[in-house]
Structure 1
Amino acid sequence: MKKSNTILMIIVIVIIASLVVWKIGTPNLISKNKENTTEKVSKKVEKESKKTKKKKEISKAKSSTTETSSSTKSESSSKSSSESTSSVSSYQSNVRFPELQAYVGKTYYAIDRESAEYPQMFPTSFTITSDGEAIIISGRQEPIEYVRTEGSGFVQLGGGPVFVFSFRPLGSSDEVEVVNQGQYLTYSTTMPE
């Protein structure tokens, strides 16, 4: 009996000891697994970021090569046409509102202003600045805050609390029709005599 009790006691002690060792060892294993997983994930992230950086560098290199080849082609064409093309493209990039591209830098003069029912409703001239950010109406500059195009071909400029100005092209951008409270007047880039 004593022998079986001691064997039983040894088995219980071994089981308790193995449980204690297992209990202590398991968190260490879990944290090691977490560390290994974290390291693997961070390495993957580093590899992916390196790949995307390489892709971006390759695409930048391709675009710069394309730009270089296109600029070389444009240089091989006649000098005057390439100059006019580059001046137009740089001119377009400077205009704040693309809808005003055809009108910027031009001064429009009222044609037969005195024949209007209320001539004081119409300025003698107006100019949209070359950057498209302001309009000069009879010498007074108004900043343009928005541009709207309407279905009837009208372009409406607005800014400040009360500034609104509407016009539409008549055949070409060199001749426009200005509307003010239901009254219309034609303007042209050619100064009337």
Structure 2
Amino acid sequence: MKKPSSILIIFVIVIIAFFAVWKVGTPNLISKNKENTTEKVSKKVKKESKKTEKKETSESESSSTETSSSVKSEVSNVSSSESTSSVQPSVKYPVLQKYAGKTYYAVNRESAEVPDMFPTSFTITSDTASITIDGKQELIRDVSSDSGFIALTGEMGHTMGTGLSFEFRPLGVNDDAVEVINQGKYLAYSTTISE
């Protein structure tokens, strides 16, 4: 009788030990399965993110190429429009453009035969639509360039109806010095005031 009871006790101990091992091993197995699953998922995620990064990189490179080419084309359009606008569309008489916006002062006006024939200064406005002579602004009606002289005509607005007639020519290669002619008399003008 002792043998079957001892076998039964051993059998119960084995079963208890099996359950104990199973209880202790199951969380490990579960955590290992979780780790394996997590590793597999993370590897898949890494692969997918690498694929996505490659796609995004190639898309961003192509878009940056497109952007840079569009920027280059815009810059070239702007620069070409700037180069074509060197003769400004707001300039009425292009022949006057290099003299526009500068004030020319008479050089040795008092030494002229008749000083009153020549203004002390004149300025052609930057849009070349008018000229200011000794502080009085006149609209330019017409401009002609003949035999090296540039002739301006306009309305003085006097009650007598006297028209403006003003002629000058450049002195040398520099636009900062010109010579004004009036009734066959000449006087030099410069953008710098003579002392």
Aligned equivalents of 1:164, 1:98: Cα separation in 2: 19
2:82 is equivalent to residue 86 of structure 1: yes
Instruction: Say what the alpha-carbon RMSD is for the aligned residues.
Output: 2.6
Aligned equivalents of 1:178, 1:100: Cα separation in 2: 14
Partner in structure 2 of residue 154 of structure 1: 149
Partner in structure 2 of residue 73 of structure 1: 76
1:190 partner letter: T
2:87, 2:94 within 8 Å by CA — same for their partners in 1? no
2:168 is equivalent to residue 167 of structure 1: yes
2:182 paired residue among 163, 180, 183: 180
Secondary structure of 1:94 counterpart: coil
Greater radius of gyration (CA): 2
Aligned equivalents of 1:70, 1:165: Cα separation in 2: 46
2:142 is equivalent to residue 139 of structure 1: no
Aligned equivalents of 1:109, 1:156: Cα separation in 2: 18
Q: Deviations over 1:114-158 (max 9, x none)?
A: 01000010000000011101000000111100000012x100000
| Alpha-carbon offset, residue 192 of structure 1 | 1.3
Secondary structure of 1:102 counterpart: helix
Q: TM-score, normalised by structure 1?
A: 0.55
Partner in structure 2 of residue 62 of structure 1: none
| Alpha-carbon offset, residue 87 of structure 1 | 8.7
| Alpha-carbon offset, residue 191 of structure 1 | 1.3
2:143, 2:152 within 8 Å by CA — same for their partners in 1? yes
How many residue pairs match? The answer is: 118
2:141, 2:154 within 8 Å by CA — same for their partners in 1? yes
Distance verdict in 2 for CA 1:69–1:127, change over 3 Å? same
Secondary structure of 1:101 counterpart: helix
1:107 partner letter: T
Secondary structure of 1:191 counterpart: coil
Q: TM-score, normalised by structure 2?
A: 0.55
Secondary structure of 1:187 counterpart: strand
